[in-house]
A and B are shown apart, each in its own frame.
Chain A
């Protein structure tokens, strides 16, 4: 049984149909632009970055690069730690040597001071024991006077 439409209904349906067709056409146009946009983008990218087929995947290459980088970092770390340790030991050794040298210097100074003191004492002692010859006659006269 076919439904009977009034003239108003028919006009309304026709108007809806026309609107729908217009909308569909607009949607098609937008989707066409979208497609063209993706194609243009892909084309531009594809041309600028030519891909080379390789039996080794890029991910595998990436993983290898990462492994190499990590290995290098570990080796560099070990080498740096060794160098740092050596440097620290060297510094400590230098400090010990410096302390020892300072100690030796102190000992030498003390020894020198002692030597000078001893020398002065010896000189003083020698001087006090030695009677100058120029004074000898006077001394003998003084001795004679005292006996008389």
Chain B
């Protein structure tokens, strides 16, 4: 993994199979659009394959891939040609629909309903967060990355990551009816 030399497609396929699902999950949570998440995941791995030589092993492969995925997503929205589609696209599922995928576990139907409602509220907050706050929030609370890893993936300082997290969490608290 730490080699700076280009690796063969066969070797790269191991990297893909090891991290593809996680990258896809992050992009799916960021966009709420299955098709777009698939496309961006594909783009991210293509970019990773082309730039594998520049990976020096200073971070984990996942952090490096996550950074590429974040950039691919940013590029996607920055692309002027897609601005029209950004405003008119309807592929992103509704936050209520996204919250439907709560595993039932051993809780009662009432508890599940309550939990689903609260998850929907979290989605509402995530939807309204700024791009950077959303990225930091999802990396922390969905991908369970620590502050240093998030800083590595986003290119932000630890302090900035903490500040974004704190603000995002405050908004979630406020939405759930607690102290902001």
Instruction: Tell me whether chain A's interface is mostly helix, strand or loop, or mixed.
Output: helix
Of the residues A23, A41, A62, contact of B28 by C-beta under 8 Å: A41
Of the residues A26, A27, A51, contact of B24 by C-beta under 8 Å: A51
**Contact residues on A (Cβ < 8 Å of other chain), bracket:** 20 to 34
The total of chain B residues at the interface (CB under 8 A) is 40
A31 at the interface (CB under 8 A from B): yes
Would A51 and B42 be within 8 Å (CB), given that A27-B178, A45-B28 are in contact? yes
A53 at the interface (CB under 8 A from B): yes
Would A33 and B179 be within 8 Å (CB), given that A27-B173, A40-B102, A59-B39 are in contact? no
B46 contacts A49, C-beta separation under 8 Å: no
- Near B by CB (< 8 A), chain A positions 16-33 give 20, 23, 26-27, 30-31, 33
- Near A by CB (< 8 A), chain B positions 133-180 give 138, 141-142, 144, 169, 172-173, 176, 178-179
Kindly list chain A residues whose C-beta atoms are within 8 Å of the C-beta of B169: 27
A38 contacts B45, C-beta separation under 8 Å: no
Kindly list chain A residues whose C-beta atoms are within 8 Å of the C-beta of B25: 38-39, 42, 46
Of the residues B43, B99, B102, B123, contact of A58 by C-beta under 8 Å: B43
Instruction: Tell me whether chain B's interface is mostly helix, strand or loop, or mixed.
Output: helix
Counted as pairs of residues, one from A and one from B, with CB atoms less than 8 Å apart, the total is 96
CA distance A23 to B178 in the complex (A): 7
CA distance A33 to B115 in the complex (A): 7
B73 at the interface (CB under 8 A from A): no
**B102 to chain A: closest residue by CB:** A37
B43 contacts A59, C-beta separation under 8 Å: yes
A54 contacts B42, C-beta separation under 8 Å: yes
B24 contacts A46, C-beta separation under 8 Å: yes
A42 contacts B28, C-beta separation under 8 Å: yes
B141 contacts A35, C-beta separation under 8 Å: yes
Q: Closest CB of chain A to B161's CB: distance in Å? A: 17
Residues of A within 8 A of B (CB): 20, 23, 26-27, 30-31, 33-42, 44-46, 49, 51, 53-55, 57-59, 62
Given contacts A37-B101, A40-B102, 15 further A-B contacts (CB under 8 A): A20-B179, A26-B178, A30-B115, A30-B118, A30-B121, A33-B115, A34-B142, A36-B102, A40-B101, A41-B100, A41-B101, A51-B38, A58-B39, A58-B43, A62-B39
Some 26 contacts from A to B, beta carbons below 8 A apart, are A23-B173, A23-B178, A27-B169, A27-B172, A30-B118, A30-B121, A30-B172, A34-B122, A35-B141, A36-B102, A36-B103, A38-B28, A39-B25, A39-B142, A40-B102, A42-B24, A46-B21, A46-B25, A49-B38, A51-B24, A51-B41, A53-B42, A54-B42, A55-B49, A58-B39, A59-B42
